[in-house]
Chain A
Amino acid sequence: MTDLAARLDRLRGAAQPRNHDARTIAALTSNPGCARRGVLDAAGIDKDAIAAELGFAAPFGQSQFAITRGNVFEAQVKADGCAELLSLLRDRLGLSIPEVAYDDLGVVGGNESRKVRHARTRQLFARALGEGPGTLFDHPLLRLDIAGQPAYLEPDVIAFQFEGRFHIIEIKSFAMIDGQADPAQVASAARQSAVYVLALRRLLTELGHDEDTVSHEVVLVCPENFSNRPTATFLDVRPQLAVLRRQLARLTGIDRIVAELPADLTFEPGAGLAGAVRSVEARYSPDCVSGCEMALFCRDEARACGSTGALGRSIRDDLGGVDSIATALALADGSLEPAEELAETAAGLRLAARLRREALGAAS
């Protein structure tokens, strides 16, 4: 374990490690077979910087306006000791009047180090479950094992204790109009919240409590209609939790991947960077572009070597075992005899080629 940590440090070089957040973990689970992303993330490498160094800077990330809008709304909901949030919770959940305790875990005694904050988070949660006070916990710092490596999570959420159960409160700035919000936004919020729910469950099990102490219902706080007034709804994240669990378990063990890499490999910026990145296998598919900073580099690589993955995940799965487009074409026009295990794929390809020929022939 310490060996692995030292190894990952070496891979990272002199740069500071980057924190995971729910966004990166949610993205990680969307492509669990990608060793490149797995290694880069496990080592906490700044993928954005690497992509820029390689000349494939991705126009990636949230718009600055969206971020500002999100921060302003969040600040408004949390202002004056979470006054607006408390009214909402009292209104919707029947939170009783005496339950107003608020603890900010964003800074502990002027110290923002992750270790101290995580320790403090544990301490306060333990106290809250043992008859102590504690209703709202702002900015808890959680930890989750990603591919055998503990990763700190910097959630921008509030954990909220109500009738002995914890809920995650996620404050988002997209509008809820007539009780309906943009499904894509809600889905992404649910995916992120599921990561927090899982991490919080881990924490409480470590403290010796039942997993169900953390509710699978997340409180989603959004602006109501076209106003700036917040409204709250429950979001059931059980499906997302199940997906996340399965994906995390499937994540290839990082130690195995790292063990196969050359011992002197490093991702320090410099002449050897492109070679170093290429030496770790990627698994590109077009939807990477919406979730990974390295996507443009991987796309270029996949296109250059004619990988079937560049055509999309479903095509790659249909062509199981055929890695390159050239091979697929050769199989289709019969210029290449398929090996036994590819016979079925080849038959499919030939059928498709014949259909295409006939269709084009009929048209002309």
Chain B
Amino acid sequence: MRESPDALEERIAELRGAVRRAVAGGDRRQARTLRARLREAERAWDRAVVGEPEPAPAAAPPDRSVRVPAREHVHHALTLLGGPAAPKLILAVHDAFFPGPLGNSRISSLRRDEERSFRGSPYARPYYVCAALTADLLAPARGLLAISTWPLERRMVGPLSPRTDFLTAALRIAEHLERLGDVPTPGARRLLWRFAANIPGAAADPGAAQPAGLAAAARAELQVHAEADAAHRATAARRALDRLDEAEQLFGARLTAVRRRTGTHGKTETEPST
């Protein structure tokens, strides 16, 4: 005999309270069984109110592609790029070289999810998709993703770093294309064009750019900036190691935190100077 919706609602409320108490009390096993019962009750409520048999999960079209989490995709793309990158570039690289779907929406919430996971249980995962840090204030750089296993210097963003990261990415992509050797995919061609068009001397006609030419040009310009940029990053990384806790080293400090920590140094960089 089916229970009435009213009785079910009462039971659902009861179970929710019980789950909350169990979680608060730290009894994980109890919480799990209670949640299973809660879901059961909710399904019964669905049946009682909507009166429909729930759609069989098997009716969904079978997904042939292996479900790889977005973080894995992003990890692959970032490892290939070798430096902090914006979601747009990550997507382009993913489309050019890796199989499987990856949408912008899946990337946008990634950093926050990763931070929550890290703060919940630190170092439970082999790597985290984390933030690049601005070299001056050690805050998360807007719109850039990085990998937690990289050395801290590589995740620092000084004034020259956007350019050096762009050139490094160009170099890595060119080398990767040379390694692959065969005819590049349309996505890869677009990527090649995008880099070649904006690096001096990469190709007379960006449409006909070759990986070797791109690599040489990127290397040449990289040499101009590398030294100053590396010095900048190294100083910033030392400061970050010095001042930030583990979570902040990965996900950046907010301005208030930096102030508190640097208060004794007498150099609050953000104080209005008037």
Contacts and interface: CB of A to CB of B under 8 A. Distances in A.
Given A87-B198, A109-B137, A80 B162 contact: yes
Interface in B120-155: 134, 137-142
A308 B178 CA distance: 75
A133 B160 CA distance: 9
A119 B255 contact: no
A81 B163 contact: yes
B110 interface: no
Interface stretch (A95-103, A184-192, A214-222): A95-103
Interface residues of B, number: 36
A80 B143 CA distance: 11
Contact of B224 (A84, A98, A107): A98
A116 interface: yes
Contacts of B239: none
Contacts, number: 90
B270 A120 contact: yes
Contacts of A110: 139-140, 252-255
A118 B163 CA distance: 25
A103 B161 CA distance: 10
A337 interface: no
B197 interface: yes
A40 B253 CA distance: 38
B26 interface: no
Contacts of A79: 86, 88-89
A306 B24 CA distance: 71
Interface in B228-274: 252-256, 258, 269-274
A58 interface: no
A109 B142 contact: no
B207 interface: no
Given A80-B162, A110-B140, A134-B159, A87 B197 contact: yes
A354 to B, nearest CB: 65
Given A90-B200, A98-B225, A119-B270, A107 B162 contact: no
Contact of A101 (B86, B159, B224): B159
Contacts of A102: 159-160, 162-163
A238 B253 CA distance: 43
Interface in A155-208: none
Interface string A12-38: 000000000000000000000000000
Given A75-B88, A90-B200, A109-B254, 11 more contacts: A81-B161, A81-B166, A83-B166, A84-B198, A98-B224, A100-B225, A104-B142, A109-B139, A109-B258, A109-B270, A116-B270
Interface of A: 75, 79-84, 86-87, 90, 97-98, 100-104, 106-111, 115-116, 118-120, 122-123, 133-135
7 contacts: A80-B89, A86-B198, A101-B159, A104-B142, A110-B253, A115-B272, A123-B273
- 10 interchain residue pairs of minimum CB distance: A81-B162, A109-B255, A101-B159, A109-B137, A109-B139, A83-B198, A100-B163, A119-B272, A111-B255, A110-B254
